[in-house]
Amino acid sequence: MRTCIICYTTIYPQDEVEILLPNPSIIHKPNNILGRYKWFPSNYCFTCLEMCKSHIWKTYIHNLENAHCNTITRDILNIPIPLWLTDNMTINGRPIKALYYRGQMISSKLYTNMNDFDYYHLQEKIKKMQMEFQNGIQKAIHDRENITTIFQNMAI
Ligand SMILES: [Zn+2]
Protein backbone atom coordinates (compact mmCIF):
# COMPACT_ATOMS: atom_id res chain seq x y z
CA MET A 1 0.00 0.00 0.00
CA ARG A 2 1.10 3.55 -0.73
CA THR A 3 0.89 6.72 1.31
CA CYS A 4 -0.06 9.99 -0.37
CA ILE A 5 2.97 12.29 -0.16
CA ILE A 6 0.75 15.37 0.25
CA CYS A 7 -1.84 14.37 2.87
CA TYR A 8 -0.14 11.21 4.26
CA THR A 9 -3.27 9.11 4.08
CA THR A 10 -3.01 5.46 3.13
CA ILE A 11 -4.00 4.72 -0.44
CA TYR A 12 -5.76 1.35 -0.53
CA PRO A 13 -5.35 -0.75 -3.70
CA GLN A 14 -8.87 0.02 -4.94
CA ASP A 15 -8.14 3.77 -4.60
CA GLU A 16 -4.78 3.78 -6.36
CA VAL A 17 -4.37 6.37 -9.10
CA GLU A 18 -2.24 5.69 -12.15
CA ILE A 19 -0.68 8.47 -14.21
CA LEU A 20 0.17 8.33 -17.90
CA LEU A 21 3.71 9.51 -18.66
CA PRO A 22 6.22 9.16 -21.49
CA ASN A 23 7.70 5.67 -21.36
CA PRO A 24 11.41 6.14 -20.56
CA SER A 25 12.43 2.82 -22.11
CA ILE A 26 10.93 3.61 -25.52
CA ILE A 27 11.46 7.35 -25.63
CA HIS A 28 14.21 7.13 -28.26
CA LYS A 29 12.12 5.01 -30.62
CA PRO A 30 9.87 7.70 -32.13
CA ASN A 31 7.97 5.32 -34.44
CA ASN A 32 6.55 3.27 -31.62
CA ILE A 33 3.50 5.41 -30.91
CA LEU A 34 1.64 2.80 -28.86
CA GLY A 35 4.53 2.25 -26.51
CA ARG A 36 5.38 5.90 -26.16
CA TYR A 37 3.37 6.31 -22.95
CA LYS A 38 3.11 4.12 -19.91
CA TRP A 39 0.96 4.02 -16.75
CA PHE A 40 2.81 4.58 -13.49
CA PRO A 41 1.46 4.45 -9.94
CA SER A 42 0.85 7.93 -8.50
CA ASN A 43 2.41 9.13 -5.27
CA TYR A 44 -0.70 11.22 -4.63
CA CYS A 45 -4.21 10.24 -3.69
CA PHE A 46 -7.09 11.12 -5.99
CA THR A 47 -8.41 13.83 -3.65
CA CYS A 48 -5.05 15.63 -3.60
CA LEU A 49 -4.68 15.38 -7.36
CA GLU A 50 -8.10 16.96 -7.81
CA MET A 51 -7.21 19.67 -5.31
CA CYS A 52 -3.97 20.40 -7.16
CA LYS A 53 -5.90 20.83 -10.41
CA SER A 54 -7.56 23.96 -9.08
CA HIS A 55 -4.94 24.99 -6.52
CA ILE A 56 -2.02 25.24 -8.97
CA TRP A 57 -3.96 27.51 -11.31
CA LYS A 58 -5.26 29.70 -8.50
CA THR A 59 -1.75 30.03 -7.05
CA TYR A 60 -0.36 31.02 -10.43
CA ILE A 61 -3.00 33.75 -10.84
CA HIS A 62 -2.58 34.90 -7.25
CA ASN A 63 1.19 35.21 -7.65
CA LEU A 64 0.81 37.14 -10.88
CA GLU A 65 -1.75 39.50 -9.37
CA ASN A 66 0.28 40.06 -6.23
CA ALA A 67 3.77 40.27 -7.68
CA HIS A 68 5.12 43.27 -5.79
CA CYS A 69 7.99 44.08 -8.11
CA ASN A 70 8.82 43.86 -11.76
CA THR A 71 11.47 41.20 -11.29
CA ILE A 72 8.94 38.82 -9.77
CA THR A 73 6.38 39.60 -12.47
CA ARG A 74 8.99 38.97 -15.14
CA ASP A 75 9.96 35.68 -13.51
CA ILE A 76 6.34 34.52 -13.42
CA LEU A 77 5.89 35.48 -17.06
CA ASN A 78 8.98 33.50 -18.01
CA ILE A 79 7.57 30.20 -16.82
CA PRO A 80 5.21 28.34 -19.14
CA ILE A 81 1.50 28.84 -18.39
CA PRO A 82 0.59 25.84 -16.23
CA LEU A 83 -2.07 23.75 -17.97
CA TRP A 84 -1.52 20.16 -16.79
CA LEU A 85 -0.64 18.34 -13.61
CA THR A 86 3.00 17.26 -13.60
CA ASP A 87 4.47 14.12 -12.07
CA ASN A 88 6.14 16.05 -9.22
CA MET A 89 3.70 19.01 -9.11
CA THR A 90 6.44 21.50 -10.07
CA ILE A 91 7.02 23.50 -13.27
CA ASN A 92 9.96 21.22 -14.02
CA GLY A 93 7.91 18.04 -13.78
CA ARG A 94 6.80 15.97 -16.74
CA PRO A 95 3.21 16.76 -17.79
CA ILE A 96 0.82 13.93 -16.95
CA LYS A 97 -1.18 12.91 -20.03
CA ALA A 98 -4.12 11.36 -18.14
CA LEU A 99 -5.17 9.83 -14.83
CA TYR A 100 -6.70 6.39 -14.30
CA TYR A 101 -8.85 5.95 -11.22
CA ARG A 102 -11.43 3.29 -10.30
CA GLY A 103 -11.67 2.00 -13.86
CA GLN A 104 -12.00 5.42 -15.45
CA MET A 105 -9.69 7.59 -17.51
CA ILE A 106 -9.70 11.12 -16.10
CA SER A 107 -8.26 14.34 -17.52
CA SER A 108 -5.08 15.73 -15.97
CA LYS A 109 -5.81 19.25 -17.17
CA LEU A 110 -5.90 22.01 -14.57
CA TYR A 111 -9.26 23.69 -13.93
CA THR A 112 -8.76 26.90 -15.89
CA ASN A 113 -11.81 27.30 -18.16
CA MET A 114 -9.40 28.16 -20.96
CA ASN A 115 -10.19 27.08 -24.49
CA ASP A 116 -7.61 27.00 -27.30
CA PHE A 117 -8.43 30.53 -28.35
CA ASP A 118 -8.03 31.91 -24.81
CA TYR A 119 -4.73 30.09 -24.48
CA TYR A 120 -3.42 31.47 -27.78
CA HIS A 121 -4.59 34.96 -26.81
CA LEU A 122 -2.86 34.67 -23.45
CA GLN A 123 0.40 33.43 -24.94
CA GLU A 124 0.45 36.33 -27.40
CA LYS A 125 -0.16 38.76 -24.54
CA ILE A 126 2.62 37.25 -22.49
CA LYS A 127 5.08 37.38 -25.41
CA LYS A 128 4.22 41.03 -25.89
CA MET A 129 4.67 41.75 -22.19
CA GLN A 130 8.03 40.02 -22.12
CA MET A 131 9.19 42.28 -24.94
CA GLU A 132 7.88 45.32 -23.15
CA PHE A 133 9.77 44.36 -20.03
CA GLN A 134 12.89 44.65 -22.11
CA ASN A 135 11.83 47.97 -23.61
CA GLY A 136 10.12 49.79 -20.79
CA ILE A 137 8.59 48.88 -17.49
CA GLN A 138 5.67 51.34 -17.35
CA LYS A 139 3.82 49.93 -20.34
CA ALA A 140 4.31 46.42 -19.03
CA ILE A 141 2.70 47.32 -15.71
CA HIS A 142 -0.32 48.67 -17.57
CA ASP A 143 -0.56 45.44 -19.57
CA ARG A 144 -0.15 43.39 -16.45
CA GLU A 145 -3.40 44.88 -15.17
CA ASN A 146 -5.10 43.93 -18.42
CA ILE A 147 -3.78 40.41 -18.30
CA THR A 148 -4.88 40.03 -14.70
CA THR A 149 -8.44 40.80 -15.82
CA ILE A 150 -8.22 38.10 -18.50
CA PHE A 151 -6.95 35.63 -15.92
CA GLN A 152 -9.71 36.48 -13.48
CA ASN A 153 -12.35 35.90 -16.13
CA MET A 154 -10.91 32.51 -16.94
CA ALA A 155 -10.23 31.18 -13.47
CA ILE A 156 -13.08 29.34 -11.85
ZN1 LIG B 1 -3.56 12.94 -0.56
DSSP tally for the chain: helices H, then strands E:
4, 6
Cα→Cα distances 55→19, 61, 85, 156, Å: 19, 10, 11, 11
Span from the CA of 55 to the centroid of ligand 1 (angstroms):
14
Span from the CA of 36 to the centroid of ligand 1 (angstroms):
28
DSSP E strand stretches across the chain: 2-3, 10-11, 17-22, 37-41, 99-101, 104-106
- Report the amino acid identity of residue 54: S
Per the structure, the complete domain to which residue 130 belongs is given by 2-154
| Total domains present in the chain | 1
Mapped onto helix, strand or coil, the DSSP state of residue 72 is helix
Span from the CA of 42 to the centroid of ligand 1 (angstroms):
10
pTM above 0.75, yes or no: no
Per-residue pLDDT of the chain (156 residues; tens, 9 = 90+): 899 999 999 999 999 999 999 887 765 555 655 678 889 999 999 999 999 998 998 888 788 777 777 777 777 777 888 889 999 988 888 999 999 999 999 999 999 877 788 878 877 877 777 777 666 655 556 666 666 666 666 654
Task: Identify residues whose C-beta is under 5 A from ligand 1, the ion.
Answer: 4, 6-7, 45, 48
